[in-house]
Amino acid sequence: MYSALQKKITGKTLSSYKVNYPADLSLTSAAQGNTDLVNHVKSQAAACPNQRFILVGYSQGANVVDNSIGISSAGAVVGSPIVATIPAALEPRVAAVLLFGNPIRAIGKSVTGTYQSRTIDFCAKGDPVCENGGGDVGAHLGYTANADAAATFAAGKV
């Protein structure tokens, strides 16, 4: 995903930061990833006044992105409550949100509100993480096929 994004965004410096999101579904795990993302965005925004952000959520981690920016995650069956949010003053600097296997889809929810027009949400056919009744446990491995489309979307928002 990162290399596809680099190819699409020209003339700008691009850096990445991986959120500390352990691979378990405990409430503490999601809360820690949530807090880590928000703290990183706040510190980078303070250090670099012109920086824009592209938030990427993959599979279970996608719920952390939803919760961290407070978009349509009420009632999610995985992840944790919103324990940290990106401040409203920084909202204009979130250029794009890229979600791969967003778990709130499985319960019939989607991104709405402030970030809706800046979000692209991929769900692989049969992926039980994001598709109600999905039974293909390996489907989430196919999201690399969406990297170019996601990068094109993000490049158009930056």
pLDDT of residue 75: 45
pLDDT of residue 60: 64
The pLDDT averaged over each successive group of 10 residues in the chain (158 residues) is 77 80 62 80 92 84 58 47 76 91 82 86 92 90 91 92
> Torsions phi, psi of 53, nearest 5?
-120, 140
Dihedral over Cα of 69, 71, 74, 80: its sign: negative
Active site residues: 59, 127, 140
Q: Please name which of 40, 6, 49, 3 lies closest in space to residue 20, comparing C-alpha atoms.
A: 40
Sheet with 119-122: list strands edge to edge: 53-58, 94-100, 119-122
- Tally the C-alpha atoms within 13 A of residue 90's C-alpha that lie toward its C-beta: 25
Tell the residue number behind the tokens 């401040």, with chain if given: 87
pLDDT in tens, 73-94: 444 445 555 667 788 888 899 9
